[in-house]
Amino acid sequence: MPTFDIFTENVSKTYRARWGITIDKNKSGKRPAKLALDNVSLLIGPGETVGLIGLNGSGKSTLVKILCGIIKPDQGEVNCLGYNPFRQRREYVNKIGVVFGQKSLLYMDLPLKDSLELYRVVYDISRDEFNREIENLDNCFGINEFIEQPVRKLSFGQRVRGDLAASILHNPQLVFLDEPSIGLDILACDKLSQYINRRSENGKTTILVSHNVDLLSSSCSRLIVLEGGVKRIDRAVEWLKLQSLVDIEFAFNNVRDAKLLDLLFTENKCKERGELFSVLSVRSDSVEATVDRLQKACSLVYLQVKPADIRDMVSTLILGNGSMSGESK
Ligand code: ADP
Ligand code: MG
């Protein structure tokens, strides 16, 4: 048995248009190419929930499609659950679940329950098991309230909940969720996060592509950042939190060591410096040392450490200001 659920080595993908369509006669016939994924290597173990983040067009969906076996990489090795996803698609697809928030697996003109019944047959699930699973899915996503309705008549959020149900009906070891939270209300997002966490406790692996910071922070143990098809960051969330900046707000009434105080303002990012009130931004792992030095430099009359803001952390990661980097966990 492999000790990983996902392994890739130097995976690259370039999309080429079939024909270059252009009104510029000089360029006609050229086949425009787009490098969507550039030498991406990954190792993801069972039970991990990994957030895949990056700006639009950074290659997230391309990576998910390669990992699901929908498209073939131009180069590199891919092994998921012991299968080559593209070459062994038939055997592999039963072991995974996939949701593309923008595209539906459901039959629009049929009631949701008919689509679920169809997937019951596809996944070869017994009637008893199916009924149990529908009950679980109803607890997770409240599908019973609209299960009899044709999918076409569902609200967008209900449709996404139906899609989630259809893709995880067979309780797969590996699930890919590509922007699953589009259209979900706060309650449904919470339920989705609970569902993902329960999967992780049971040793099941989830890859989550999302721009929803709350969902990422409540579910993921690790974040991978793609930028222009390149894997820029691959780190445990806890590690990233330690690297992120925390605000120390303080006020003092007596300076004991003016040089040390100046040094603290030049060594750290100074957000505000006033006669009475100042704010320094420091890395999470140096808060204690900075507060110690502040106490040596002056008599503090007010001190507050603001916790690391995960929203800031994720936008710093995606926009890439170079303060956090590294590939290992
Ligand atoms: P993301 O999911 O991060 O938004 P994608 O993986 O969908 O990014 O796309 C990565 C890049 O590849 C983008 O520049 C996109 O325009 C391009 N791309 C994606 N799919 C195709 C396709 N079928 N044909 C040509 N270019 C594509
Ligand atoms: Mg995408």
Q: Best of 13, 21, 34, 35 to mutate for ligand 1, by most ligand atoms within 8 A of CB? A: 34
* Structure confidence by residue, pLDDT tens digits, 153-176: 999 889 999 999 999 999 999 999
| Ligand 1 in reach of 101 Cβ (< 6 A) | no
| Ligand 1 in reach of 16 Cβ (< 6 A) | no
Q: Is the pLDDT of residue 27 over 70?
A: no
| CATH fold for the domain made of 6-240 | Rossmann fold (3.40.50)
Domain boundaries, the chain: 6-240, 245-307
Cα(226) to ligand 1 centroid in Å equals: 13
* Structure confidence by residue, pLDDT tens digits, 237-260: 988 888 888 999 999 988 999 999
pLDDT of residue 3: 86
pLDDT of residue 309: 76
Q: What is the pTM of this model?
A: 0.86
Q: Which residues surround ligand 2, an ion (CB under 5 A)?
A: 60-61
pLDDT of residue 329: 44
Nearest CA to ligand 1 atom 15: 57
Nearest CA to ligand 1 atom 1: 57
Alpha helices in the chain (DSSP H): 60-68, 89-92, 112-122, 127-141, 156-168, 186-201, 213-219, 237-243, 258-267, 287-297, 310-319
Q: Best of 61, 74, 209 to mutate for ligand 1, by most ligand atoms within 8 A of CB? A: 61
Nearest atom in ligand 1 to the alpha carbon of residue 229 is 10
CA distance 120 to 115: 9
Q: Do the two domains 6-240 and 245-307 of this chain adopt the same fold?
A: no
* Local confidence band at 275 (pLDDT 50, 70, 90 cut-offs): confident
Query: Which CATH number applies to 245-307: 3.30.70.120, 1.10.340.30, 3.30.465.10, 3.40.50.150?
Result: 3.30.70.120
Nearest atom in ligand 1 to the alpha carbon of residue 63 is 6
- What is the percent of the chain with per-residue pLDDT over 90, rounded to a whole number? 73
| Ligand 1 in reach of 58 Cβ (< 6 A) | yes
DSSP state of 3: S
Tell me the average pLDDT of the chain: 90
Cα(229) to ligand 1 centroid in Å equals: 9
Which is nearest to 297 in space by CA: 329, 266, 323? 266
Q: Is the pLDDT of residue 12 over 90?
A: yes
